[in-house]
Amino acid sequence: MYTKNVDDRNDMAQEIAYQICRSYKGFKGKSKLSTWIYKIALNTALSSFRKKEVAAESLPNTDVADDDEASVKREQESGLRYAIQQLNDADKSLTLLFLDDLSYQEIGEITGLSENTVAVKIHRIKKKLKTIVHGK
């Protein structure tokens, strides 16, 4: 969600891996390793995003005929991606962490927010996304 194309994604993945390796000696074990990695990945992605002001990537257009169900699902995913791209960086980050099935506690550890603040923000973001997708 933070990159425009495959090359940018690959560059970002490489930068994230570098930052994780570089920072590993500083990992103190106060949180789960996965939470610590998420935090580094998020900070690296946001830093890269701020530097480049990357535009949203559209879904590839295929000419292959699909059944209706797959087509509807792809259209819904496209709408959700578009809506997420309309959010500010902080809301986008929370949304992506939430979509990765992290708990509010884990999201709080990554972002530095309290669990309650995360819950409130996620609730508000869901309303924003609904408004963007449905125009209400």
User: In this predicted model, what pLDDT tens digit does every residue of 90-127 receive, in sequence order?
Assistant: 899 899 889 888 899 999 998 899 999 999 999 999 99
25 versus 5: the higher-pLDDT residue is: 25
Domain boundaries along the sequence of the chain: 1-57, 63-136
Of the candidates 35, 30, 32, 2, the residue with the CA atom closest to the CA atom of residue 111: 35
pLDDT of 65: 47
pLDDT of 64: 47
What is the model's pTM? 0.57
pLDDT > 50? residue 54? no
Q: Which of 52-61, 77-86, 117-126, 127-136 has the lowest mean pLDDT?
A: 52-61
Average pLDDT of the residues in 56-63: 44
Instruction: Please state, in angstroms and rounded to a whole number, the distance separating the CA atoms of residues 6 and 13.
Output: 10
**CATH top class, domain 63-136:** mainly alpha
User: In this predicted model, what pLDDT tens digit does every residue of 11-49 receive, in sequence order?
Assistant: 888 888 988 888 888 888 888 888 888 888 888 877 766
pLDDT > 60? residue 63? no
CA 74 to chain centre: 18
